[in-house]
Amino acid sequence: MKPSKSQEHIVHPVLDPLKYEELFADARYSKIIGEASPSYLSDENTARRIKSKVPDAKIIILLRDPIERVYSHYLMDVRNGIQKKKFYQALIEDYSSQEKGWGVSHMYVELGLYADQVVRYMDIFDKSSLL
């Protein structure tokens, strides 16, 4: 699967389509190509963007255990120097914060509530396009 998971081109729109297509140069003869990011599931606009750019896309949704996901998210924030509190305290404070979104909250709990995220894709893509 090219490009790397760190490149989130549907959440953050492509500025230069030719450079984006170059990311797939090594895969041009592959039967299946694609890219992946956890942000594609949680972002509210991504399913519509994918549908508008690649209407016949086949979507694979892989869900991680929500407890493992939240702890991994917390550890990533600790490694990156974003989070200094103990896990339980960080979780309680984050969940209790008033404003939700990428600016104020880490969304530790909300990003693991998969039902609404998956339903967004089910509402936009045919059942045959989803795995």
Summarised one tens digit per residue, pLDDT across range 35-46 is 888 889 999 999
Which overall architecture, per CATH, does domain 38-129 show? 3-Layer(aba) Sandwich (3.40)
pLDDT band at 4 (very low <50, low <70, confident <90, very high): very low
Summarised one tens digit per residue, pLDDT across range 69-104 is 999 999 999 999 999 999 999 999 998 886 655 556
- Phi, psi values for residue 130, rounded to 5°: -115, 140
For 23-92, the DSSP string reads TTGGGTT-S------THHHHSTTHHHHHHHH-TT--B---PPPHHHHHHHHHHHHHHTTS--S-HHHHHH
Give me the pLDDT at residue 86, please: 98
Give me the pLDDT at residue 46, please: 92
Give me the pLDDT at residue 56, please: 94
Domains in the chain: boundaries = 38-129
Dist CA 131 CA 127 (whole Å): 8
